[in-house]
Structure 1
Amino acid sequence: MGYTRRVLDDELDELFGQVPAIAIDGPKGVGKTTTAEQHVRGLLRLDSRANRTAVEADPELALRRARPLLIDEWQKVPEVWDVVRRAVDADPSGGQFLLAGSASPSPDATAHSGAGRIGRLRMRPMTLVERGLAEPTVSLAALLAGRRTTLEGSCDLGLADYTEEIVASGFPAMRSLSARARRFQLDSYLRNAVDRDVPEQGLAVRKPESMLAWLRAYAAATATTASYSQILDAATPGQADKPARSTSIAYRDVLTSLWLIDPVPAWAPGGNLLTRLGQAPKHHLADPALAARLLGLGSDTLLEGDGTPVGPQAGTMLGHLFESLVTLCVRVPSQAAEAQVAHLRTRNGDHEIDLVLVRDDGRVLAIEVKLATTITDQDTKHLHWLTDRLGGRLLDAIIINTGPHAYRRRDGIGVIPLGLLTT
């Protein structure tokens, strides 16, 4: 099969010719190596024991390969980061090194952060547009431009299709598997992360099942602002002698370093336009399929309403996982459009905006997510509340749903089926 182009390819096309070194961060299996290979001549795989042994002995060996050079799994020999940094200091011309890593080494593993020398790009699982499921008609970049153009297009994807995509995974190698093989691979992926990858990051896990239970509770908190105490309680029901809260924080930190959890931070706007905002992140795993698998939920059981969310936000598990799929499909093009992604929730929970995309100038695009084919006035109340407070700082307000058509309501709010959203 031929290579399936990713959104990150566009970013690399735009940046790599001018930037001497770029590190591509993301979880294992997301496609970092395959994508990076499209942009280089030389390849150094540090997950190979022979290569790793030689480079550990003499990190400067990395510089003897043809450039542009991909150094894959660079975190296996963190010293190559400083070798690349020094090479860039000596020759700052663009397009020399790509570094792909599925874990973030500890800050003291390298002598220098690489700031100003090595750029960073995040790679996430495949979005719906990258999966080629529909012909998208609505550009996120155009929405961020604030022109409030007419929205057009129709999408054949329905609720059952989106539910299948939640469990089908955005990891490229899993896309072609049968349902049984995919479940097996997702289980293996999670078990290997706990048994092998976490200890390699320096966290000794005495009871792997306890960490998997925490991950299941985190999955149940998908798209909520549940506290880590609530997640720990959900992971240890009925246990009087619960682990310390520091255990939950240690799990969070190591899984973040492996790019396996991918929370959306709370929006903290400057000035006094908005007050009483919550600071808790919204929880997401790297791929909604991981969350569904941890909870033992398939497409049929999700459609039947199975699964109980953890956290303050109401709704079904299907609704929360659909929001996680939307979040993935928004984050990837947002990075390409140079917009930051956050969420908004007031402290008492009376107002909430699922996704807030923030441009460099502070102006925002507000997005609500609705697991519905039709949109009512009740569904728009939080967007109208935000419009009243932000005025001209609000570029646009849209609702992403499971309906068949993209259009603008009479109040100006856009309605976009998820399958029609592109870069």
Structure 2
Amino acid sequence: MREYLPRVYDGILRQRVKSKGAVLIEGPKWCGKTTTAEQIARSVVYLQDPRTKTQNLRLAEIAPRELLKGEVPRLIDEWQLAPQLWDAVRFEVDQRDDFGQFILTGSAVPADTSSISHTGTGRIARLKMRPMSLVESRDSTGAVSLEKLFGGERVPIVRVESSLEHMAFLLCRGGWPKAAGLNAETALLQAPDYLDGVVNSDISRVDKKERDPRIARALLRSYARMSASQGKVTEMLADVNAQGVAASESTIRDYVKALGQIFVIEDLLAWNPNLRSRTAIRTAPTRHFVDPSIAAAALSVGPGDLMADLNTFGLLFESMCVRDLRAYADVLGGDVYHYRDRSGLEADAVVHLRDGRYGLVEVKLGGDTLVNEGAKSLLALQKKIDVGKVGSPSFLMILTATGDYSYYREDGVYVVPLNALAP
């Protein structure tokens, strides 16, 4: 059995289990939902186990409470195979009147909710997991703590072994637990296999609606080209049609919605701060995949291709940074947004905590010229923010793909290689 690599969601799940009767873990397939839940579960029922599947599904119909018996927290894996268990769990939570009773995990494909009569509000909490960040896959030193930066500590000057070539590999490998620790050749096969599963099966299983794999693959390729941009559906349609695949705007919108439902894409919403000026803020979301390796697979590119096309590399690296920042923000009880206005001023990511603290982040592959550009943009945005209403940012940070050190500049901007960052 392979070693379990601790996840940032371990602590979050323990906290949720202690504060709710049941917890539903959602997220993309292959991101480790069941394995993480198994770490704290005291008993488990695997509905998809072929040895007991028929019996379990029959019990779910005629005597669902039998499946709920066992030491708690009890893990019910692939619960969506028997959606009626949702109401049974909710009722049992009410009857037991105690926290920490159940953990539900399952496929990224949503369950059929037609037979569910109660939302579970107040009884069943939802926890979204994502693929591994670099600190989880042991590819980050973790020397720079996001929590400490929010606490007012200056970024430490620490040495980091970081190269563009290795970062290109990590991007294409992705944050899939099964890929971590594999040899490079085998690890790089995982994302293309994931993509094949999405276009040939998962996108049609969302709502049992048959969808054309050719359109799905062409759309994913188009979406990948628009990574880290505010690409419009009409632009995607034109790109899909240019690939020789006939589709309509309504079809593209339908497919985009389906991809979001199975957690393949996860766009970044806009941050709307109080500004001293009346600059118009762009509110369209920024396009991102839940893991940048899906974008690389959709474009049929590997590490060498990214090294030969630094523009594409830079866009996908931004998605990689967003993936990690989202995981780290989850630990701190925060969210990640983006900021862009019509004057061209931007922050690739804004990490915003529930207590109001926030940090502004720009993403650059590296090099003095790009880092200087990023710092200039962050400092200009800081001057526009009405600090009397929202406070000053806790930090201004540039995340890079390369660099021998994390350090702070004389203007106060922090420069941190992504593989030095931690929650």
Answer whether TM exceeds 0.5 for this pair. Answer: yes
Alignment of 1:90-169 (within 5 A): 90-101=95-106, 102-105=108-111, 108=114, 110-145=116-151, 147-169=152-174
For residues 413 and 46 of structure 1, the distance between their equivalents in structure 2, rounded to whole angstroms, comes to 51
For residues 330 and 340 of structure 1, the distance between their equivalents in structure 2, rounded to whole angstroms, comes to 9
| Cα 1:36–1:344 shift into 2, 3 Å | same
For residues 376 and 325 of structure 1, the distance between their equivalents in structure 2, rounded to whole angstroms, comes to 18
Residue 370 of structure 1 aligns with which residue? 364
Q: Does the aligned pair in 1 maintain the 2:33–2:105 contact within 8 Å? A: yes
State the one-letter code of the partner of 1:293.
A
Residue 292 of structure 1 aligns with which residue? 296
For residues 361 and 88 of structure 1, the distance between their equivalents in structure 2, rounded to whole angstroms, comes to 31
Q: Does the aligned pair in 2 maintain the 1:368–1:400 contact within 8 Å? A: yes
1:233 to 2:238 alignment: yes
Alignment of 1:5-404 (within 5 A): 5-48=6-49, 49-50=53-54, 51-101=56-106, 102-105=108-111, 108=114, 110-145=116-151, 147-237=152-242, 242-269=246-273, 275-305=279-309, 316-346=311-341, 348=342, 350-374=344-368, 376-390=371-385, 391=387, 392-401=391-400, 402-404=402-404
Shift of 1:90: 2.2
State the one-letter code of the partner of 1:408.
Y
| Count of matched residue positions in the alignment of Structure 1 and Structure 2 | 411
The unaligned stretches of length 5 or more in structure 2 are none
For residues 144 and 184 of structure 2, the distance between their equivalents in structure 1, rounded to whole angstroms, comes to 31
| Cα 1:96–1:159 shift into 2, 3 Å | same
- CA deviations on 1:189-222 (whole Å, 9 max, x unpaired) are 2222233222222252342111111111111111
State the one-letter code of the partner of 2:312.
M
For residues 266 and 203 of structure 1, the distance between their equivalents in structure 2, rounded to whole angstroms, comes to 32
State the one-letter code of the partner of 1:351.
L
- CA deviations on 1:93-123 (whole Å, 9 max, x unpaired) are 2221111132333665532222221111111
* Partner-residue secondary structure (3-state), 2:3: coil
Shift of 1:68: 1.1
* Partner-residue secondary structure (3-state), 2:242: coil
Q: Does the aligned pair in 2 maintain the 1:29–1:172 contact within 8 Å? A: yes
For residues 260 and 304 of structure 2, the distance between their equivalents in structure 1, rounded to whole angstroms, comes to 30
For residues 61 and 226 of structure 2, the distance between their equivalents in structure 1, rounded to whole angstroms, comes to 41
State the one-letter code of the partner of 1:3.
Y
* Partner-residue secondary structure (3-state), 1:172: coil
* Partner-residue secondary structure (3-state), 1:6: coil
For residues 130 and 82 of structure 2, the distance between their equivalents in structure 1, rounded to whole angstroms, comes to 23
Residue 312 of structure 1 aligns with which residue? none
State the one-letter code of the partner of 1:303.
M
State the one-letter code of the partner of 1:152.
I
Shift of 1:410: 0.9
Shift of 1:160: 1.0
For residues 272 and 147 of structure 2, the distance between their equivalents in structure 1, rounded to whole angstroms, comes to 22
For residues 58 and 349 of structure 1, the distance between their equivalents in structure 2, rounded to whole angstroms, comes to 62
Shift of 1:364: 1.7
Shift of 1:178: 4.4
The unaligned stretches of length 5 or more in structure 1 are 306-314
| Residues 180-189 or 218-227, more deviating | 180-189
TM-score, scaled to structure 2: 0.90
Q: Does the aligned pair in 2 maintain the 1:205–1:211 contact within 8 Å? A: no
* Partner-residue secondary structure (3-state), 1:17: helix
TM-score, scaled to structure 1: 0.90
* Partner-residue secondary structure (3-state), 1:131: coil
The percent identity for this pair of structures is 32
State the one-letter code of the partner of 2:352.
V
